Amino acid sequence: MGQLDGRVAIVTGSGRGIGRNIALRLVRDGAAVVINDIDEAPATDTVAAIAQQGGRAVACVGDVTAKDFGERIVQTAVDAFGGCHIVVNNAGYTWDSVIQKMSDEQWYAIIDVHLTAPFRILRAFQQHFRSRVDAERKAGKRVMRKVVNISSTSGVNGNAGQSNYSSGKAGIIGLTKALSKEWGRYDVTVNAVAFGYIQTRLTTPLQEGEAGEIEVQGRKVKVGIQGGRIAAMNQMIPLGRGGTPEEAAGSVYLLCSPDSDYVSGQCLVVNGGL
């Protein structure tokens, strides 16, 4: 038996990268998972990979910043699996500039995906679990629920060229701490994980002068890190390297498992000891 047998999880941004690995890790211990990506292909590919392993998953494709998305993804979990016990707010990307070159569009796009979208999803989650908690307690049951919000060391320490991203990731830590105080009485733990350098498509090593990019909502957004910067970061990180998506997923799993039932309102920094 897995520690998460009978649990239902939502993981946003789980078609690729860290989110996909989080979903696979939760499924490995018995959870059923709602997979989300802004693009259909990676979401359905992850669902298929989980099914091949004998796990249960469904896709909820769409933009997490849509105003109705919170209600839609929670309802997807309820319709497919009968409820929801775990929410991992992982979806996001970076769109960097120094502040004097940053547009309002650039600011709000990043704040919306990293802070407003999790707020709406968690608001919908509360509306789902509130009545269920009453019914469970009347039946003499105590059911722990879990929220893990993904932050960043940019939100903990700040980072030049990322005033929008740093603000959003700092804000999600504040939301985490506030909800841990609101929801403790419902047996819901709310924690955050702040990642340092993790090796994903957003941190792809680039050759000098090379430019990488992704497309989000029709926008071309530059991503990737120059190889020289990565080498410098690896020298500063005590473990000598960036983390893998699988290692990142392990830290999130810890806060989703029963082993963390008395851990709430915390921000776990995952940065190789930097």
Rounded to whole angstroms, the Cα distance separating 3 from 258 reads: 7
Residue 184 per-residue DSSP state? G
Residue 218 is assigned to a structural domain of this protein? no
Residue 234 is assigned to a structural domain of this protein? no
pLDDT tens per residue, range 80-97: 999 999 999 999 999 999
Q: What CATH number is associated with residue 182?
A: 3.40.50.720
Catalytic residue among 93, 108, 165, 197: 165
Residue 95 is assigned to a structural domain of this protein? yes
- Going edge to edge, which strands form the sheet with 145-152? 57-59, 32-35, 8-11, 86-89, 145-152, 188-195, 267-270
134: Cβ–Cβ under 8 A, 6 or more apart, which residues? Answer: none
Q: What's the confidence (pLDDT) of residue 252?
A: 98
Q: What is the pLDDT along the chain (274 residues), one digit of tens a residue?
A: 799 999 999 999 999 999 999 999 999 999 999 999 999 999 999 999 999 999 999 999 999 999 999 999 999 999 999 999 999 999 999 999 999 999 999 999 999 999 999 999 999 999 999 989 999 999 999 999 999 999 999 999 999 999 999 999 999 999 999 999 999 999 999 999 999 999 887 676 655 445 566 677 777 776 667 667 778 888 999 999 999 999 999 999 999 999 999 999 999 999 999 9
Q: Look at the chain and report how many structural domains it folds into.
A: 1
User: What are the CA-CA distances from residue 70 to residues 87, 176, 190 (Å)?
Assistant: 11, 17, 17
The DSSP element (H or E) to which 192 belongs, if any, is: strand 188-195
Q: Quick check: is 93 catalytic?
A: no
**Burial environment of residue 132 by CB neighbours within 10 A (0 to 12, 13 to 18, 19 or more):** middle
Residue 3 is assigned to a structural domain of this protein? no
Q: Tell me how many helices (H) and strands (E) the chain has.
A: 9, 11
Rounded to whole angstroms, the Cα distance separating 27 from 5 reads: 9
Rounded to whole angstroms, the Cα distance separating 60 from 8 reads: 14
For residue 3, give the 3-state DSSP assignment: coil
Ranges of H-type helices in the chain: 17-28, 40-52, 69-81, 104-111, 117-138, 153-157, 163-183, 227-236, 245-256
- Contact yes or no for 206/240 (Cβ under 8 A): no
Q: Which residue has the tokens 């509130």?
A: 130
Residue 54 is assigned to a structural domain of this protein? yes
Residue 157 is assigned to a structural domain of this protein? yes
pLDDT tens per residue, range 99-135: 999 999 999 999 999 999 999 999 999 999 998 999 9
Name the residue among 148, 31, 141 with its Cα closest to residue 80: 31
The DSSP element (H or E) to which 182 belongs, if any, is: helix 163-183
Rounded to whole angstroms, the Cα distance separating 7 from 55 reads: 12
Residue 139 exposure: Cα atoms within 13 Å on the Cβ side = 9
Residue ranges making up the domain that contains 99: 8-196+244-270
Token readout for 101 is 């070159």
Residue 229 is assigned to a structural domain of this protein? no
Rounded to whole angstroms, the Cα distance separating 145 from 258 reads: 9
Q: What's the confidence (pLDDT) of residue 232?
A: 85
Residue 222 is assigned to a structural domain of this protein? no
